[in-house]
Amino acid sequence: MSQYESRTTFESNRDPMAKVGYARVSSVGQSLDVQREKLGDCDKLFEEKRSGTTDARPQFKQCLDYVRDGDQLIVTRIDRLARSTLHLCQIAETLSKKGVDLVVLDQNIDTSDATGRLLFNMLGAIGQFETEIRAERQMDGIKKAKDRGVQFGKRPALTTDQIAELREKRKQGTLIRELMAEYSLSKATIYRYLAENNA
Protein backbone atom coordinates (compact mmCIF):
# COMPACT_ATOMS: atom_id res chain seq x y z
CA MET A 1 0.00 0.00 0.00
CA SER A 2 1.42 3.39 -0.99
CA GLN A 3 1.84 6.27 1.46
CA TYR A 4 -0.99 8.15 -0.30
CA GLU A 5 -3.30 5.13 -0.12
CA SER A 6 -2.41 4.61 3.52
CA ARG A 7 -3.19 8.24 4.35
CA THR A 8 -6.43 8.16 2.32
CA THR A 9 -7.52 5.01 4.14
CA PHE A 10 -6.66 6.57 7.50
CA GLU A 11 -8.56 9.78 6.74
CA SER A 12 -11.60 7.89 5.49
CA ASN A 13 -11.65 6.00 8.80
CA ARG A 14 -11.28 9.12 10.90
CA ASP A 15 -13.87 10.00 13.48
CA PRO A 16 -16.18 12.92 12.57
CA MET A 17 -14.17 14.98 15.04
CA ALA A 18 -10.44 14.28 15.23
CA LYS A 19 -8.15 15.69 17.90
CA VAL A 20 -5.07 16.92 16.10
CA GLY A 21 -2.10 18.02 18.21
CA TYR A 22 0.79 20.30 17.38
CA ALA A 23 3.94 20.39 19.51
CA ARG A 24 6.94 22.65 18.99
CA VAL A 25 10.18 23.58 20.70
CA SER A 26 12.53 26.32 19.52
CA SER A 27 15.74 24.36 19.08
CA VAL A 28 16.99 20.88 18.30
CA GLY A 29 18.45 20.50 21.79
CA GLN A 30 15.10 20.95 23.55
CA SER A 31 12.76 18.09 24.38
CA LEU A 32 9.18 17.61 23.19
CA ASP A 33 8.42 15.05 25.91
CA VAL A 34 6.33 17.33 28.15
CA GLN A 35 4.16 18.46 25.25
CA ARG A 36 3.85 14.90 23.94
CA GLU A 37 2.57 13.77 27.31
CA LYS A 38 -0.03 16.54 27.48
CA LEU A 39 -1.14 15.84 23.90
CA GLY A 40 -1.27 12.11 24.47
CA ASP A 41 -5.03 11.87 23.79
CA CYS A 42 -4.71 13.31 20.28
CA ASP A 43 -5.57 11.14 17.29
CA LYS A 44 -2.67 12.62 15.33
CA LEU A 45 0.32 14.66 16.43
CA PHE A 46 2.53 16.97 14.39
CA GLU A 47 5.91 17.88 15.90
CA GLU A 48 8.82 20.09 15.03
CA LYS A 49 11.90 21.73 16.48
CA ARG A 50 11.99 25.20 14.97
CA SER A 51 11.79 28.76 16.19
CA GLY A 52 8.30 30.28 16.23
CA THR A 53 9.69 33.41 14.59
CA THR A 54 10.42 31.64 11.32
CA ASP A 55 8.00 31.06 8.48
CA ALA A 56 9.66 27.74 7.66
CA ARG A 57 7.59 25.39 9.81
CA PRO A 58 6.71 22.51 7.44
CA GLN A 59 5.04 20.37 10.10
CA PHE A 60 2.77 23.23 11.13
CA LYS A 61 1.83 23.83 7.49
CA GLN A 62 1.01 20.13 7.14
CA CYS A 63 -1.03 20.34 10.32
CA LEU A 64 -3.12 23.23 8.97
CA ASP A 65 -3.58 21.38 5.68
CA TYR A 66 -4.60 18.23 7.53
CA VAL A 67 -7.31 19.53 9.88
CA ARG A 68 -10.86 19.60 8.52
CA ASP A 69 -14.36 20.67 9.51
CA GLY A 70 -15.27 19.41 12.97
CA ASP A 71 -11.68 18.76 14.12
CA GLN A 72 -9.92 20.27 17.11
CA LEU A 73 -6.39 21.64 16.83
CA ILE A 74 -4.80 21.20 20.26
CA VAL A 75 -1.62 22.88 21.56
CA THR A 76 -0.21 23.20 25.06
CA ARG A 77 0.35 26.97 24.94
CA ILE A 78 -0.44 29.82 22.55
CA ASP A 79 3.27 30.62 22.09
CA ARG A 80 3.76 27.14 20.60
CA LEU A 81 1.42 28.16 17.82
CA ALA A 82 2.13 31.73 16.67
CA ARG A 83 4.98 34.25 16.53
CA SER A 84 2.86 37.38 17.03
CA THR A 85 -0.67 38.56 17.68
CA LEU A 86 -1.14 39.21 13.96
CA HIS A 87 0.05 35.70 13.14
CA LEU A 88 -2.22 34.31 15.85
CA CYS A 89 -5.23 36.11 14.36
CA GLN A 90 -4.35 34.81 10.89
CA ILE A 91 -4.17 31.24 12.20
CA ALA A 92 -7.46 31.68 14.07
CA GLU A 93 -9.13 32.97 10.89
CA THR A 94 -7.79 30.01 8.88
CA LEU A 95 -9.09 27.55 11.46
CA SER A 96 -12.45 29.31 11.65
CA LYS A 97 -12.90 29.12 7.88
CA LYS A 98 -12.14 25.41 7.98
CA GLY A 99 -14.57 24.85 10.85
CA VAL A 100 -11.79 23.79 13.22
CA ASP A 101 -11.79 24.68 16.92
CA LEU A 102 -8.60 25.60 18.75
CA VAL A 103 -7.87 24.20 22.21
CA VAL A 104 -5.00 25.54 24.31
CA LEU A 105 -4.50 23.22 27.28
CA ASP A 106 -2.31 25.20 29.71
CA GLN A 107 -4.37 28.37 29.30
CA ASN A 108 -7.72 26.56 29.37
CA ILE A 109 -8.92 27.97 26.04
CA ASP A 110 -11.47 26.34 23.77
CA THR A 111 -12.70 28.47 20.87
CA SER A 112 -15.80 26.33 20.44
CA ASP A 113 -17.52 28.63 22.96
CA ALA A 114 -17.74 32.42 23.32
CA THR A 115 -15.78 32.54 26.57
CA GLY A 116 -12.91 30.62 25.02
CA ARG A 117 -12.83 32.93 22.00
CA LEU A 118 -12.78 36.00 24.25
CA LEU A 119 -9.94 34.62 26.39
CA PHE A 120 -8.02 33.61 23.26
CA ASN A 121 -8.20 37.15 21.86
CA MET A 122 -7.31 38.72 25.21
CA LEU A 123 -4.23 36.55 25.71
CA GLY A 124 -3.09 37.27 22.18
CA ALA A 125 -3.43 41.02 22.75
CA ILE A 126 -1.59 40.80 26.08
CA GLY A 127 1.23 38.83 24.46
CA GLN A 128 1.64 41.49 21.77
CA PHE A 129 1.57 44.24 24.40
CA GLU A 130 4.36 42.51 26.35
CA THR A 131 6.44 42.17 23.18
CA GLU A 132 6.04 45.87 22.39
CA ILE A 133 6.93 46.85 25.98
CA ARG A 134 10.11 44.74 25.81
CA ALA A 135 11.05 46.41 22.52
CA GLU A 136 10.47 49.87 24.02
CA ARG A 137 12.60 49.04 27.05
CA GLN A 138 15.37 47.75 24.81
CA MET A 139 15.33 50.96 22.76
CA ASP A 140 15.34 53.04 25.96
CA GLY A 141 18.33 51.05 27.21
CA ILE A 142 20.23 51.60 23.97
CA LYS A 143 19.50 55.34 24.05
CA LYS A 144 20.68 55.66 27.66
CA ALA A 145 23.82 53.69 26.86
CA LYS A 146 24.56 55.95 23.89
CA ASP A 147 24.03 58.99 26.12
CA ARG A 148 26.72 57.56 28.43
CA GLY A 149 29.08 57.24 25.48
CA VAL A 150 28.69 53.51 24.85
CA GLN A 151 29.25 52.72 21.18
CA PHE A 152 27.35 50.03 19.32
CA GLY A 153 28.31 48.10 16.25
CA LYS A 154 31.76 47.02 15.09
CA ARG A 155 34.58 48.84 16.80
CA PRO A 156 36.97 50.68 14.49
CA ALA A 157 40.43 49.12 14.32
CA LEU A 158 43.24 51.05 15.97
CA THR A 159 45.99 52.54 13.89
CA THR A 160 49.56 51.32 14.29
CA ASP A 161 50.41 54.42 16.32
CA GLN A 162 47.40 53.93 18.58
CA ILE A 163 48.33 50.29 19.19
CA ALA A 164 51.87 51.30 20.12
CA GLU A 165 50.49 54.00 22.41
CA LEU A 166 48.09 51.55 24.05
CA ARG A 167 50.89 49.07 24.72
CA GLU A 168 53.14 51.76 26.15
CA LYS A 169 50.40 52.97 28.51
CA ARG A 170 49.86 49.42 29.69
CA LYS A 171 53.60 49.04 30.38
CA GLN A 172 53.42 52.21 32.46
CA GLY A 173 50.68 50.66 34.59
CA THR A 174 47.46 52.00 33.06
CA LEU A 175 44.58 49.74 34.11
CA ILE A 176 42.76 47.62 31.54
CA ARG A 177 39.43 49.26 32.36
CA GLU A 178 40.96 52.68 31.77
CA LEU A 179 42.28 51.57 28.39
CA MET A 180 38.83 50.16 27.54
CA ALA A 181 37.21 53.51 28.29
CA GLU A 182 39.86 55.57 26.49
CA TYR A 183 39.88 53.51 23.28
CA SER A 184 36.23 52.40 23.39
CA LEU A 185 37.27 48.76 23.16
CA SER A 186 36.17 45.60 24.91
CA LYS A 187 38.41 43.85 27.42
CA ALA A 188 38.96 40.98 24.96
CA THR A 189 40.09 43.38 22.22
CA ILE A 190 42.49 45.18 24.56
CA TYR A 191 44.07 41.87 25.57
CA ARG A 192 44.28 40.83 21.91
CA TYR A 193 46.24 43.95 21.01
CA LEU A 194 48.55 43.39 23.99
CA ALA A 195 49.04 39.71 23.14
CA GLU A 196 49.97 40.53 19.54
CA ASN A 197 52.84 42.54 20.91
CA ASN A 198 54.22 39.45 22.61
CA ALA A 199 53.71 37.10 19.67
Number of C-beta neighbours around residue 137 at 10 A: 10
* Active-site option among 2, 6, 26, 51: 26
Separation of alpha carbons 51 and 60, rounded Å? 12
Separation of alpha carbons 39 and 19, rounded Å? 9
Active site residue 26: yes
Separation of alpha carbons 84 and 6, rounded Å? 36
Separation of alpha carbons 106 and 121, rounded Å? 15
The residues that are catalytic are 26
